[in-house]
Amino acid sequence: MSRKTTILALVVLVGLAGACAKQEQTSPAEEAWSELVEAWNGLETAEDKAALAENYLAEFPDTEHSGSMAGMVVYYRGHEMEDPQGAYDVVASIFEQIEDPEQRFEVGMEMLSLADSVEVPLELAEVADNLAAERPLTYGEHQQVVEAAADLEEWSIVAAHAGAATGLATPEAYQADYPDREFTDEDLAERAQRREATSLAYDGWAAYNMGDTEPAFARYAAADDIGSVSYLGVPNTPLNTFWGRSALGEGDFDAAIELLGAEAAFGNDGSGAEVYLREAYAAQNGNEEGFDEFLWATRNELATTVDDFTLLDYEGNEISMADVSTGKVTLLAFWFPT
């Protein structure tokens, strides 16, 4: 989960860069920030990027960029350079200097994201409560707490924040989070549904881990009723992973295999669904023999056939997917330049 958060953080950084480049330079911190943004695009290595972010944090620990810079340090030093302790030490050294509750929250969450490899004395509940004392948390902030708490297996925190997040999973709240963007009603409804299904899935998973089996399965069923699915026709939330793992825990191997199979088949993962699917498969069949063939068959059975589409290339020619890919193996990649 922290990986996905990092991807978003990178996009946010670029967004900030665009906004800041147009502003008048008003303070040394902002001036240094403009220089950082300019230098950033020329950097190739994780070492250089980590160093740039660390220098900025050391000089200007308490700015509106503290959270995103801490994110860069965690990503580049912590993950890419595989030095989580070093990343933690850098961020922890400036944490106490941050006064703004929103930045404290962001930086604190970055520190906690390292908790699986580093000793983090910070209490997640404290980080969340500190911001909540200032103003109500947004959906996104509740969800950040939920994901961190699930990683830390702090189930009562997961339950509390997932419950609050479910209440905020409305089209109106989604629009309020992105005041400058225009959405169709349909689009807003779909995004709100995805949020609601996600929060319900986590709420169910917390309940299951606290021994409340029946309420857990009721929440999974409620999340399933919302019907939030990806292009592949499988939930675009962690529902199947949590539901499947709960079914596995109850010894319902058929259900576990069906739920985890849909999740693991296309590799749209990070959830570890395949590990638990393998476990369920072995439990049902007595051993793991034939698992790879089974996974392959599941994939074939569930696979969507892609619809053709036509778009323009950069010379203005109309190109259809079928023109390029009929009879071929095709990687269809969606991107945007940064």
Partner 1 sequence: MELPRLQPLYEQYKDQGFEVIAVEAKRDTERAKKFIEEKGLTYTMLENAEEDAEIVGSMFKVRSFPSSFLIDRDGKVMYFHLGFEAGDEEHIEEEIKTLL
Residues found near partner 1 in the complex (CB under 8 A): 3-4, 7-8, 11, 80, 187, 230-232, 236, 266-268, 299-300, 303-307, 309, 311-314, 319, 321, 324-337
Q: Is 278 or 299 the residue whose CB approaches partner 1 more closely?
A: 299
Q: Is 39 or 319 the residue whose CB approaches partner 1 more closely?
A: 319
* C-alpha distances out from residue 116 to 84, 112, 148, 239, 280, Å: 10, 8, 10, 23, 26
Q: Is 80 or 151 the residue whose CB approaches partner 1 more closely?
A: 80
Q: Is 156 helix (H, G, I), strand (E, B) or coil?
A: helix
- Find the shortest distance in angstroms from Cβ 93 to partner 1: 27
What number of CA atoms fall less than 13 Å from residue 177's CA on the CB side?
16
- Find the shortest distance in angstroms from Cβ 148 to partner 1: 19
Q: Is 138 or 325 the residue whose CB approaches partner 1 more closely?
A: 325
Location of structure tokens 């960029």: 65
- Find the shortest distance in angstroms from Cβ 152 to partner 1: 22
- Find the shortest distance in angstroms from Cβ 313 to partner 1: 6
Q: Is 140 or 215 the residue whose CB approaches partner 1 more closely?
A: 140
Q: Contact at 8 Å (CB) between 231 and 304? A: yes
- Find the shortest distance in angstroms from Cβ 303 to partner 1: 4
By C-alpha distance, which of 180, 108, 105 is closest to 136? 105
Q: Contact at 8 Å (CB) between 41 and 100? A: no
Give residue 118's identity as a one-letter amino acid code: V
Q: Is 2 or 66 the residue whose CB approaches partner 1 more closely?
A: 2
- Find the shortest distance in angstroms from Cβ 306 to partner 1: 5
Biggest CA–CA distance in the chain, Å, is: 68
* C-alpha distances out from residue 272 to 227, 238, 253, 329, 331, Å: 22, 11, 17, 26, 23
- Find the shortest distance in angstroms from Cβ 187 to partner 1: 8
Q: How far apart are CA 109 and CA 88, in angstroms?
A: 11
Determine the angle formed by the axes of helices 124-132 and 139-152, rounding to 10 degrees. 170
Q: How far apart are CA 79 and CA 86, in angstroms?
A: 11
Q: Contact at 8 Å (CB) between 218 and 203? A: no
Q: Is 15 or 28 the residue whose CB approaches partner 1 more closely?
A: 15
